[in-house]
Chain A
Amino acid sequence: AQSVTQLDSHVSVSEGTPVLLRCNYSSSYSPSLFWYVQHPNKGLQLLLKYTSAATLVKGINGFEAEFKKSETSFHLTKPSAHMSDAAEYFCVVSGSYNFNKFYFGSGTKLNVKP
């Protein structure tokens, strides 16, 4: 069965410092993995996705994530946080048998301090 664990429910960083949002997954097969961002009172927006091409995936707004099969991880990083990055981030894995069924993590709320 597929599942996603986001290890931190809240992360707080200072503006200009690196961001690390952790995600571990379980999947029987090579999964597709996604990160979505949800700003307050806004819809979910795709940040980036991994679909078995390059293991380091670059997304929008300077975010990137690295797929590490040995660690079953897909952590989201950004070198320098901006105030506008404050939002909730969701890690998502697709189904092994049904590629169009998606499993969401519980989310990580990122707070960026000035």
Chain B
Amino acid sequence: GAGVSQSPSNKVTEKGKDVELRCDPISGHTALYWYRQSLGQGLEFLIYFQGNSAPDKSGLPSDRFSAERTGGSVSTLTIQRTQQEDSAVYLCASSFLSGTQETQYFGPGTRLLVL
């Protein structure tokens, strides 16, 4: 079976433009996470979706960031009015929510560069 996929793999945009990053989780995985990894930094939690529950948005750095998960599968992370400090690798991960601590499976990431 396929792993977590993300698109695009690289995105270069101009400051002030909006971008959309896509994540396709592993089929059947009910939990989906977005993280940000800035150069030389660890992973920063952004948001996660857990089944049909309301998403945990506590990690979103500003209201320019939002995410959706349609049909319990594909997720889109949107960054509006991008700033240079948004440049980072955005990682998506999914896991099978079974009530115990489950392993996350990571996608390859989208490398975002804001000029």
Bound CA–CA A43/B91 (angstroms): 9
A contacts with B, residue count (CB < 8 A) = 23
Residue of A49, A51, A94, A107 touching B42 (CB-CB under 8 A): A107
Residue of B44, B99, B106 touching A43 (CB-CB under 8 A): B106
Residues A49 and B101 in contact, CB atoms below 8 Å apart: yes
Residues B33 and A43 in contact, CB atoms below 8 Å apart: no
Please name all residues of chain B whose beta carbon is closer than 8 Å to the beta carbon of A107 when the two chains form the complex. 41-42
Stretch at the interface among A12-20, A64-72, A73-81, A96-104: A96-104
Residues A43 and B42 in contact, CB atoms below 8 Å apart: no
Number of A-B residue pairs, CB cutoff 8 Å, is: 53
Residues A43 and B97 in contact, CB atoms below 8 Å apart: no
Residues A43 and B107 in contact, CB atoms below 8 Å apart: yes
Bound CA–CA A106/B106 (angstroms): 17
Residues B42 and A99 in contact, CB atoms below 8 Å apart: no
- Given contacts A90-B42, A103-B45, A105-B42, whether A34 and B56 have CB atoms under 8 Å apart is no
Contact flags B84-104 to A (C-beta < 8 A → 1, else 0): 000000010101010111111
B95 (CB) vs chain A CBs: closest residue: A100
Residue of A44, A94, A106 touching B101 (CB-CB under 8 A): A94
Q: List 19 A-B contacts (CB under 8 A).
A: A43-B91, A43-B106, A43-B109, A44-B91, A44-B106, A51-B100, A90-B42, A90-B43, A99-B100, A100-B31, A100-B50, A101-B56, A102-B45, A103-B45, A104-B35, A104-B42, A104-B43, A104-B44, A107-B41
List residues of chain B with CB under 8 Å of any chain A CB. Answer: 31, 33, 35, 41-45, 48, 50, 56, 91, 93, 95, 97, 99-109
